[in-house]
Amino acid sequence: MAAGNDRSGQDTLTRSAATGLICPRCERRFELSEPDAFCPECNRSLDVTYDYELAAKRIRELPAEQRPQSIWRFSELLPILDAQACARVGTHSGFTPLIHAQRLGAELGLQRLYLKDDSTMRPSFSYKDRVVSMSIARLLELGKDEIGCVSTGNVGHSVAALAAAAGIPAYIFYPNRLEPTKAKLCRALGAGVCQLDANYDEANRACRALAEESGLEFANITLRPYYSEGGKTEGFEIVEQLGWRSPDHIVLPAAGGTLSSRVHKGLRELELVGLAQTAHTRLHIAQPEGCSPIASAIIAGASEITPVQPTTAAHSLAIGAPGDAPLVLSAVADRRGSAATVSDAEIFAAIDLLGATEGVLTEPAGGTAIASLIKLIDAGAIAPEDTVVTVVTGNGMKTIEDHPVKPWPSAVPARPETMRSELEQLRATAGARLAA
């Protein structure tokens, strides 16, 4: 990186107030130039630290209307120092819509239900563009020119798209039992795809060893401290889009635990720099029954998770040994939150409910969040007058082939008399659904 840590005003510098890295367990500190992503003592992924006074000052100096409507909006609180690296990646990512879901809210008995709709995210239609943008910007900052990743599906798609746009080759390592469309998408975006005969956790371990041996940077392994920071932008946007009022509840699907732990960190930072009061916001974790190490630990009141072998159709959430689990457990405890687990049938029913009430098509990760929201309301953890944000983290077009098949109507002759009776049936079905 040409400009190093010097913040003397060259235009190659962003406004970042990042100061270094810290191990969240033993609190040992490291320089931002540290090549390792993990603490050598504890093997935990390092976390980025900031000078919050400096961040607050810089935030006050630049009015919101002069800031980009993208993940880089509050770059004071992001870990990339080289503005040219930021300008090459993720400039169209973030600032997804926050939708007041009145029809779904009415179905569920909530007046103020909002959907943070990352299914519309550019360029790869999932929340992962927030985190992968940070990794690729960091890679460019380091002057490197190829990237790998291990993925449950969406990270790969995001790496393929963002790397192509930045002009660097990408190599995607996929575990087994992945939705095939996601691998196809990566190939169409010019990435190299390697399918591994392993589950995600095994694939992750093997990729870490390969990274050490080959020197290839991995977006979500060797660049992990930077990757994770992108998750905070979800929290920043939710609070800003609600007029700088943090909601009573945020419901998030979790796999590795990056998004949920970093939404918590982002909300805390908004307090630290004086942008919003966020301490009241409760954080709820949504996981499928077939892979719920974090949610089950929260429900049981356990102090650590027990890894599991995933068996769920929500492939993007199938991480049995989530790396950020300790951070999620403490985030949920700090925020007096809770968790829910839901069956695959409940997940697909929730996808359909969201689609039919709001016109938003999500994948099983988003279905997991909506199905969990329903359970949290039933359990009394969320009250009708509360302001609730549920994050729809991914797009259902990528997983539609996995959606349980509904009976497909046989073709009818294209004549008004046959079509008229068809139409009557379709109207009756739609009416029954709306009346239900």
Ligand X SMILES: Cc1ncc(COP(=O)(O)O)c(C=O)c1O
Residue closer to Zn ion by CB (options 47, 363) is 47
Taking residues 145 to 174 in sequence order and writing x for each that binds ligand X by CB under 6 A, - otherwise, the string is -------xxx--------------------
Residue closer to ligand X by CB (options 275, 369) is 369
Of 265, 256, 249, give the one whose Cα is nearest residue 287.
256
CB 98 within 8 A of CB 116: yes
Taking residues 15 to 34 in sequence order and writing x for each that binds ligand X by CB under 6 A, - otherwise, the string is --------------------
Taking residues 297 to 316 in sequence order and writing x for each that binds ligand X by CB under 6 A, - otherwise, the string is -------------------x
**Residue 127 binding ligand X, by CB under 6 A:** yes
Residue closer to ligand X by CB (options 135, 258) is 258
Residue closer to ligand X by CB (options 55, 389) is 389
Residue closer to ligand X by CB (options 255, 283) is 255
- In the region spanning residues 93 to 112, those forming contacts with ligand X, defined by CB under 6 A, are none
Residue closer to ligand X by CB (options 99, 285) is 285
Q: Using CB distances below 5 to 8 A depending on partner kind, what does residue 337 bind out of Zn ion, ligand X, none?
A: none
Residue closer to ligand X by CB (options 56, 291) is 291
- In the region spanning residues 220 to 259, those forming contacts with ligand X, defined by CB under 6 A, are 253-259
Count of other CB atoms within 10 angstroms of residue 307: 12
Least distance in angstroms from the C-beta of 21 to Zn ion: 11
- In the region spanning residues 6 to 65, those forming contacts with Zn ion, defined by CB under 5 A, are 23, 25-26, 39, 41-42
Least distance in angstroms from the C-beta of 29 to Zn ion: 10
Q: Using CB distances below 5 to 8 A depending on partner kind, what does residue 258 bind out of ligand X, Zn ion, none?
A: ligand X
State how far the Cα of 35 lies from the Cα of 222, in Å rounded to an integer: 8
Taking residues 234 to 273 in sequence order and writing x for each that binds Zn ion by CB under 5 A, - otherwise, the string is ----------------------------------------
CB 217 within 8 A of CB 336: no
Least distance in angstroms from the C-beta of 41 to Zn ion: 4
Least distance in angstroms from the C-beta of 231 to ligand X: 6
Least distance in angstroms from the C-beta of 204 to ligand X: 11
Least distance in angstroms from the C-beta of 210 to Zn ion: 24
Least distance in angstroms from the C-beta of 177 to ligand X: 14
Least distance in angstroms from the C-beta of 141 to ligand X: 22
Residue closer to Zn ion by CB (options 41, 424) is 41
Least distance in angstroms from the C-beta of 208 to Zn ion: 17
Residue closer to Zn ion by CB (options 23, 321) is 23
CB 136 within 8 A of CB 162: yes
- Number of residues in contact with Zn ion under rule CB under 5 A: 6
> Residue 72 contacts by C-beta under 8 Å, 6 or more apart in sequence?
14, 78, 86, 90, 91, 94
CB 148 within 8 A of CB 124: no
Least distance in angstroms from the C-beta of 105 to ligand X: 22
Q: Using CB distances below 5 to 8 A depending on partner kind, what does residue 371 bind out of ligand X, Zn ion, none?
A: none
- Number of residues in contact with ligand X under rule CB under 6 A: 20
Distances in whole angstroms, Cα of residue 324 to Cα of each of 258, 290, 319, 408: 6, 19, 11, 42
Structure tokens at 94: 């973030």
Taking residues 368 to 397 in sequence order and writing x for each that binds ligand X by CB under 6 A, - otherwise, the string is -------------------------xx---
Q: Using CB distances below 5 to 8 A depending on partner kind, what does residue 233 bind out of ligand X, Zn ion, none?
A: none
One-letter-per-residue 3-state SS of the chain: CCCCCCCCCCCCECCCCEEEEECCCCCCEECCCCCCCECCCCCCECEEEECHHHHHHHHHHCCHHHCCCCCCCCHHHCCCCEHHHHHCCCCCCCCCCEEECHHHHHHHCCCEEEEEEHHHCCCCCECHHHHHHHHHHHHHHCCCCCEEEECCCHHHHHHHHHHHHHCCCEEEEECCCCCHHHHHHHHHCCCEEEECCCCHHHHHHHHHHHHHHHCCEECCCCCHHHHHHCCHHHHHHHHHHCCCCCCCEEEEECCCCHHHHHHHHHHHHHHHCCCCCCCCCEEEEEEECCCCHHHHHHHHCCCCCCCCCCCCCCHHHCCCCCCCHHHHHHHHHHCCCEEEEECHHHHHHHHHHHHHHHCCCECHHHHHHHHHHHHHHHCCCCCCCCEEEEEECEEHHHCHHHCCCCCCCCCCCCCHHHHHHHHHHHHHHHHHHHHC
Least distance in angstroms from the C-beta of 370 to ligand X: 12
Q: Using CB distances below 5 to 8 A depending on partner kind, what does residue 137 bind out of ligand X, Zn ion, none?
A: none
Residues β-bridged to residue 288: 342
Query: Which positions lie near ligand X, rule CB under 6 A?
Result: 126-128, 152-154, 253-260, 316-317, 363, 365, 393-394
